[in-house]
Chains A and B, each alone.
Chain A
Amino acid sequence: MSSTKPELEKYYKLREEYGVSIYVDRDTVYITTPREKLVDIASKLFNEYQCTFRTCVGTDERPINGFFSLTHIFTDDRSCLYVLVKTYLESDDPRVPSIVSVVPGADWCEMEARDLLGIEFTGRQQYRLVLPPEWPNNVYPLRKEVPYNYRPPVRGVSERVTTTVETGVVPIGPYHPALHEPEYFELYVEGERVVDVNYRGFHVHRGIEKLGESRMTYQQVNFLAERICGICGFEHSTCYALAVEKAAKLEVPERAQFIRSIVLEVERLHSHLLLLGVAFHLLGYDTGFMHTWRIREKIMYIAELLTGSRKTYGINLIGGVRKDINEEKKLKVLETIRELEREFKSFIETALSVPQVKRRLTGTGVLPKEYAVKLSVEGPVARASGINRDARRDLPYAAYKYASFKVPVYTEGDNMSRILVRVDEIFESISIIEQLLDKIPKGPIMLDRYEIPEGRVGVQVVEAPRGGDVHFVITGRGKPYRWRVRAPTYSNIPALKVMLKDQPLADAPITIASIDPCFSCTDRILVIRSDGRREWIRLAGVGI
């Protein structure tokens, strides 16, 4: 479908300028480019058009057309557009120029495509990111010929900390009281000052993409997607459902979209209150921690009322939702949420005026805007560094277009700003829930019948509490042919290097926590032993 919309003109100009193919379908611009032009196109989109880089997706399309493909996902937030830049790669030479020199945020997704699909990136330093060091070479788990239950014969090796004379090393992780999931930060310190940081992540892989593409149906993947994260799982299942619905061009009933938005905001409230509690705990203010979590209980109650579960709601399906909201529930939700608002308002004023809390949040863990833009950080981390971006407003989905809300933006870029963004968002979420409950239309909550044709592409960004979740789907027969998930922490972790450098060691845990990291959403490898126990690094039964 061609369009003469003014915001699309600049994309059509790319066709003349670079000779690339442009195709527009509703809110998505598809650009297909030869690999020689990829860096120029990426640079144009990122630096000139100021598009946001979200992630890149490698796909094994050999069974369909004999090629590998690499799709870079950008969003033009000012024009409400998704921009997909696709490059086909010869199956016997899957080599492509790296765009890291012009889009630094593409570092990890390129290396992930290299590890999982064997796509080689030229013009950059390549390293193993996702797979463990002892994983055999030339085995690429996301290639279609590799079965989901493939188990390579490998033996675990240990990785040792290295120290120099000048600096000491403080290891944070893989198991540490400040981290609630296994990740490893190596902080190089001089005295109590952090001079450098080394991050070693990807200790966990649940093989979800491979599972979704191989042994699950479209509807089953909803429930798998929800299990990506224990805190923002509903954001993932919504994002997946919306991506599939977009690919299949399904018109989901409005009432279902309202329910999705309401539950998404309930989940945001839960996540932000949880993070605030953790932040207070890390600052030694345990009374604040306990009271925040006490207030959070009200949200758990609302979640249970609306979905039947305190967490992992399980109400999303392709084509709608499974649970309706009746008048009685609506009134109870409104009553509880007003109570929550009142309690939170009086509590947070006190908590943020505790001298140690104020002092240790202000001016620490600073992420300047230029780095935030360069690294394509997401969510409250971006908004605390002066980036005015929120997918709920910029790329509206579900029922957000029916709600009026402010996007809080701070310019200081410090830990306090990241906390304040979340505090403001709590009040905005409460307001959104009230508005949507007031406006919720009557009607069905699920499509009666639908079809999902093969070979369609759907991409969706959902503004999760930590930033934009990205789900990319290529439809297949009865299940996704390719399903790519990118959690916001994936984009935010690289910024920690900037935030932690030259900071006091004591502020490292709160700085790490200030991005509200969700490592399990981000990671790719989890080893499940045959007896059901989890094991780190040693591969004795990989689920990929």
Chain B
Amino acid sequence: MLLLYLSLVLTTLVGSILSVILDGVERKLKARIQSRIGPPITQTLYDLLKLTVKESKPLHTAPFIYFSVTSVVLTMMLSLVHAHVYALNGNVLIFTLSISLLAVSLTMFTLIPLLIPNPFAYTGGIRELLLSLVNESAYLISLTVTVVTLSIIRSGEHSYIILLSLALSLVVLFISSYALTGRVPFDIAEAEPELASGILVEFSGKVLAVMLFSTLIKRYLVKFILVASLLVNTIGWGVHSLLTSILLTTLLWIIYATISAILGRSRVDIAPLTLGKLYIVLLGLSITGLLVDLYV
């Protein structure tokens, strides 16, 4: 039991460090695409470490914000631990707990900027809220539909329509997971040139470091849960599943980084609406296919 907990702490630590290093890889990759040399891949780590020794500018609503920011990171870490356990034992309850914790942390993450008395943070917060309303629900629904369809496929008795259903839910899952990572074109809440970093504008020092770290953990977690749920329901659970999940999460991070390098930023009146329409059509068809397979 002690060994299990130790291995979980270790893998969670690896996940945390990996998310910071992968951000450095992303910066390097983007630099290469843009004909630049770019910073070393450890630059994000240096940035975070530097921020921890910088002065934090206090806000009026500081106690609430400090509490919320800490809660976000802790909830995300807990979700990551459970996602690792799920990859190891394939327990659906653990999986449910992991995505529930993810949903709680994402909601808290979205609400933090609304506590900040700054027009840029507030506008960024509203943008994040609008995007989250569309995107988080699509991510969670498509994840559930994917897991259910994969379970049906694994059971052996299924029609071809379920494959179509799976394909559609996977499309939604990948798009929503990409949008959840807050990369362009969906970085409208930060939108540095428009909102002077929006949701992050009032953060400084350690609080900013924690917020940035939570963003990186979010990026890692969203991809890890996606990959783990696919692997557990295809190749099964166990150490090999956990290690493959970490590997594929790294690969997915690099793919997302490449996509973000070739796109521009969307707008708050375009992105949620476009995503919403797309999700409704794709998820509608996917769920209909699933129901048809189950009841017809």
Residues of A within 8 A of B (CB): 168-171, 176-178, 192, 280-288, 290-291, 294, 354-357, 359-360, 504-509
Give the residues in chain B near A357, CB-CB below 8 Å.
264
Contact of A192 with B269 at beta-carbon distance under 8 Å, contacts A177-B192, A281-B193, A360-B264 already known: yes
CB distance from B247 to the nearest CB of A (A): 27
Contact of A287 with B193 at beta-carbon distance under 8 Å, contacts A360-B267, A506-B188 already known: no
Give the residues in chain B near A287, CB-CB below 8 Å.
30, 33-34, 261-262
Are A170 and B120 closer than 8 Å at their CB atoms? yes
| Option from B119, B123, B184, B269 in Cβ contact (under 8 Å) with A284 | B184
Q: How far is the CA of A117 from the CA of B265 in the complex (A)?
A: 47
Are B265 and A284 closer than 8 Å at their CB atoms? yes
Contact of A505 with B194 at beta-carbon distance under 8 Å, contacts A287-B262, A291-B35, A355-B263 already known: yes
Q: Which residue of A lies closest to B33 (CB)?
A: A287
Contacting residues of chain B (252-292) with chain A, CB-CB under 8 angstroms: 261-270
Contact of A178 with B35 at beta-carbon distance under 8 Å, contacts A192-B268, A356-B263, A506-B268 already known: no
Are A285 and B264 closer than 8 Å at their CB atoms? yes
Q: B196 at interface (Cβ–Cβ under 8 A)?
A: yes
26 A-B residue pairs with CB within 8 Å: A168-B119, A169-B119, A170-B123, A192-B268, A192-B269, A280-B264, A282-B193, A285-B184, A285-B263, A285-B265, A286-B34, A290-B36, A291-B35, A355-B264, A356-B184, A356-B185, A356-B263, A356-B265, A356-B266, A357-B264, A359-B270, A504-B267, A504-B268, A505-B123, A506-B268, A507-B267
Contacting residues of chain B (164-185) with chain A, CB-CB under 8 angstroms: 184-185
Contacting residues of chain B (192-216) with chain A, CB-CB under 8 angstroms: 192-194, 196-197
Contact of A178 with B193 at beta-carbon distance under 8 Å, contacts A171-B119, A291-B34 already known: yes
CB distance from B124 to the nearest CB of A (A): 11
Q: Which residue of B lies closest to A161 (CB)?
A: B119
Contacting residues of chain B (220-271) with chain A, CB-CB under 8 angstroms: 261-270
Given contacts A280-B264, A287-B261, A506-B268, 19 further A-B contacts (CB under 8 A): A168-B119, A176-B196, A192-B123, A192-B269, A282-B193, A284-B185, A284-B187, A284-B193, A288-B264, A354-B262, A356-B263, A357-B264, A359-B267, A360-B264, A360-B265, A504-B268, A506-B191, A506-B267, A507-B267
Give the residues in chain B near A286, CB-CB below 8 Å.
30, 34, 261
Are B263 and A178 closer than 8 Å at their CB atoms? no
Q: How far is the CA of A509 from the CA of B198 in the complex (A)?
A: 14
CB distance from B27 to the nearest CB of A (A): 11
Q: Which residue of B lies closest to A163 (CB)?
A: B119
Q: Which residue of A lies closest to B120 (CB)?
A: A170
Q: Which residue of A lies closest to B190 (CB)?
A: A284
Q: How far is the CA of A224 from the CA of B110 in the complex (A)?
A: 52
Q: How far is the CA of A294 from the CA of B37 in the complex (A)?
A: 13
Give the residues in chain B near A283, CB-CB below 8 Å.
264-265
Q: How far is the CA of A282 from the CA of B191 in the complex (A)?
A: 9
Q: How far is the CA of A504 from the CA of B262 in the complex (A)?
A: 24
Q: How far is the CA of A168 from the CA of B195 in the complex (A)?
A: 14
Are A284 and B191 closer than 8 Å at their CB atoms? yes
Q: How far is the CA of A282 from the CA of B185 in the complex (A)?
A: 12
Give the residues in chain A near B191, CB-CB below 8 Å.
284, 506
Are A177 and B193 closer than 8 Å at their CB atoms? yes
Give the residues in chain A near B36, CB-CB below 8 Å.
290
Q: Mark B18-41, 1 if CB is under 8 A from A, else 0.
A: 000000000000100111100000
Of listed A168, A171, A286, A504, residue having the most chain B CB within 10 A: A286
Give the residues in chain A near B266, CB-CB below 8 Å.
356, 359-360
A-B pairs, top 7 by smallest CB distance, nearest first, are A284-B265, A356-B264, A285-B264, A290-B34, A283-B264, A506-B267, A282-B193
CB distance from B131 to the nearest CB of A (A): 13
| Option from B35, B127, B185, B194 in Cβ contact (under 8 Å) with A290 | B35
Are A506 and B194 closer than 8 Å at their CB atoms? yes
| Option from A178, A280, A504 in Cβ contact (under 8 Å) with B269 | A504
Give the residues in chain A near B265, CB-CB below 8 Å.
283-285, 356, 360
Q: How far is the CA of A192 from the CA of B197 in the complex (A)?
A: 16
Q: Which residue of B lies closest to A280 (CB)?
A: B264
Give the residues in chain B near A285, CB-CB below 8 Å.
184, 263-265
Give the residues in chain A near B127, CB-CB below 8 Å.
192
Q: Which residue of B lies closest to A168 (CB)?
A: B119
Q: Which residue of A lies closest to B184 (CB)?
A: A284
CB distance from B271 to the nearest CB of A (A): 9
CB distance from B178 to the nearest CB of A (A): 14
CB distance from B227 to the nearest CB of A (A): 27
CB distance from B152 to the nearest CB of A (A): 36
Give the residues in chain A near B268, CB-CB below 8 Å.
192, 504, 506
Contact of A354 with B264 at beta-carbon distance under 8 Å, contacts A168-B119, A284-B184 already known: yes
Q: Mark B35-54, 1 if CB is under 8 A from A, else 0.
A: 11000000000000000000
Q: How far is the CA of A169 from the CA of B120 in the complex (A)?
A: 10
Give the residues in chain B near A280, CB-CB below 8 Å.
264
| Option from B34, B120, B193, B264 in Cβ contact (under 8 Å) with A509 | B193
Q: How far is the CA of A226 from the CA of B263 in the complex (A)?
A: 38
Q: How far is the CA of A140 from the CA of B188 in the complex (A)?
A: 47
Of listed A171, A280, A359, residue having the most chain B CB within 10 A: A359
Give the residues in chain A near B120, CB-CB below 8 Å.
170
Q: How far is the CA of A286 from the CA of B266 in the complex (A)?
A: 13
Q: Which residue of B lies closest to A508 (CB)?
A: B194
Q: How far is the CA of A174 from the CA of B196 in the complex (A)?
A: 12
CB distance from B262 to the nearest CB of A (A): 6
Give the residues in chain B near A359, CB-CB below 8 Å.
266-267, 270
Give the residues in chain A near B270, CB-CB below 8 Å.
359
Q: How far is the CA of A367 from the CA of B157 in the complex (A)?
A: 63
Q: How far is the CA of A192 from the CA of B270 in the complex (A)?
A: 12
Give the residues in chain A near B30, CB-CB below 8 Å.
286-287
Q: Which residue of A lies closest to B188 (CB)?
A: A506
CB distance from B258 to the nearest CB of A (A): 11
Q: How far is the CA of A178 from the CA of B265 in the complex (A)?
A: 15
Q: How far is the CA of A505 from the CA of B197 in the complex (A)?
A: 14
| Option from B35, B192, B197 in Cβ contact (under 8 Å) with A294 | B35
Give the residues in chain B near A281, CB-CB below 8 Å.
193
Q: How far is the CA of A283 from the CA of B185 in the complex (A)?
A: 9
Give the residues in chain A near B262, CB-CB below 8 Å.
287, 354
CB distance from B213 to the nearest CB of A (A): 23
Q: How far is the CA of A538 from the CA of B143 in the complex (A)?
A: 59
Are A354 and B263 closer than 8 Å at their CB atoms? yes
Q: How far is the CA of A283 from the CA of B264 in the complex (A)?
A: 6
Are A170 and B35 closer than 8 Å at their CB atoms? no
CB distance from B119 to the nearest CB of A (A): 5
CB distance from B26 to the nearest CB of A (A): 12
Q: Which residue of B lies closest to A176 (CB)?
A: B196
Q: Which residue of A lies closest to B268 (CB)?
A: A192
Give the residues in chain A near B185, CB-CB below 8 Å.
284, 356
Give the residues in chain B near A192, CB-CB below 8 Å.
123, 126-127, 268-269
CB distance from B188 to the nearest CB of A (A): 7
Q: Which residue of B lies closest to A359 (CB)?
A: B270
Q: Which residue of A lies closest to B265 (CB)?
A: A284
